[in-house]
Amino acid sequence: MKPVEVIEGKVSVLDRADVDTDQIIPKQFLKRVERTGFGEFLFYDWIRDGEIELEPNPILVAGANFGSGSSREHAVWALADFGFDAVIAPSFSDIFYVNSTKNGLLPVIVSAEHCRGIAAAGQARIDLDDQTVDYAGGVVRFEIEEDVRHRLLAGHDEISVTLQVSDAIDAYERDHPAIGRATTSL
């Protein structure tokens, strides 16, 4: 994963709450077995039906509870592939938020008021190191878990990091044998 530090540029706005991942990437595109090429299918129905227009800017500002519903990581791949580097919203669904951080798509939580301000400004600068969003209306600080921030700044592959503690996993498995039967024995 490439490191994330500063994301700066124009803002695209999707002024809707509870945008679910079925809208972000409709089910017919989940049959692909690759990780790439989902950008052209982003908000497929909404864009083709003329309900919304979206420019592939570095930043997307959206309504509360963004990314609700299905766990499909394809939603994150589609947003990133389309061109977004960050999504700013008052809140995100839990799974979408985690999926974003695994792909270097920075989820930024600020108040609805700041979201409106950033949307109106049309331009913003997000600094992950400082945890700030700087826009024409002011500078706002956002919260992000320290481990996640560190991993994004460093661009670390999480699996490699975990495999460094495989001794601890071995020890856990020795101390906690499975109670049920092995799935391979059924």
Partner 1 sequence: MNPNPQTMFDKIWRRHELGNGLIYIDLHLVHEVTSPQAFDGLRLADRTVRRPDRTLATADHNVPTDDTPLARMITDELSRKQVEKLESNCEEFGVPLYSLGSQRRGIVHVIGPELGVTQPGMTIVCGDSHTSTHGAFGALAFGIGTSEVEHVLATQTLVQKRPKTMRINYSGKLPEEVGAKDMILATIGRLGTGGMAGHVVEYAGEAVRALSMEGRMTMCNMTIEGGGRAGMIAPDEATFAYVEGKPGAPEDFGAAVAAWRELTTDEGAGFDTEVEIDASSLSPMVTWGTNPGMVTEVASTVPEPGSLEGPVNAETAARALAYMALEPGTPITEIQLDRVFIGSCTNSRIEDLRAAAAIVEGRQVASSVRAMVVPGSEGVRRAAEEEGLHETFREAGFEWRASGCSMCLGMNPDILIEGERCASTSNRNFEGRQGKGGRTHLVSPRMAAAAAIEGHFVDIRNWERTANSRQRTTPSSGGSR
- Measured from the CB atom, the residue of 76 and 124 that comes closer to partner 1 is 76
- What minimum distance in Å lies between the beta carbon of 147 and partner 1? 6
Please give the full DSSP string across 57-72, using - where no structure is assigned: -SEEEE-SSBTBS---
Here's the x/- map for partner 1, 65-84, by CB under 8 A: it reads as: x--xxxxxxx-x--------
Pull the structure tokens for residue 9. 């540029």
172 is a contact residue toward partner 1 (CB under 8 A): yes
162 is a contact residue toward partner 1 (CB under 8 A): yes
Pull the structure tokens for residue 128. 């992950």
Q: Which amino acid is at 163?
A: L
Kindly report the backbone phi and psi dihedral angles of residue 64, in degrees, each rounded to the nearest multiple of 5, phi listed first.
Answer: -65, 155
184 is a contact residue toward partner 1 (CB under 8 A): yes
In the region spanning residues 17 to 46, those forming contacts with partner 1, defined by CB under 8 A, are 17-18, 20, 22-23, 26-28, 30-35, 45
How many whole angstroms separate alpha carbon 84 and alpha carbon 3? 15
Distance from the Cα of residue 104 to its chain's centroid: 7
165 is a contact residue toward partner 1 (CB under 8 A): yes
Largest CA distance in the chain: 62
Number of residues interacting with partner 1: please give it, by CB under 8 A: 56
Return the range that interacts with partner 1 (CB under 8 A); candidates 52-60, 92-100, 119-127, 135-143: 92-100
Q: Which of 6, 136, 153, 169 binds partner 1 (CB under 8 A)?
A: 169
Kindly report the backbone phi and psi dihedral angles of residue 49, in degrees, each rounded to the nearest multiple of 5, phi listed first.
Answer: -85, 5
- Measured from the CB atom, the residue of 12 and 68 that comes closer to partner 1 is 68
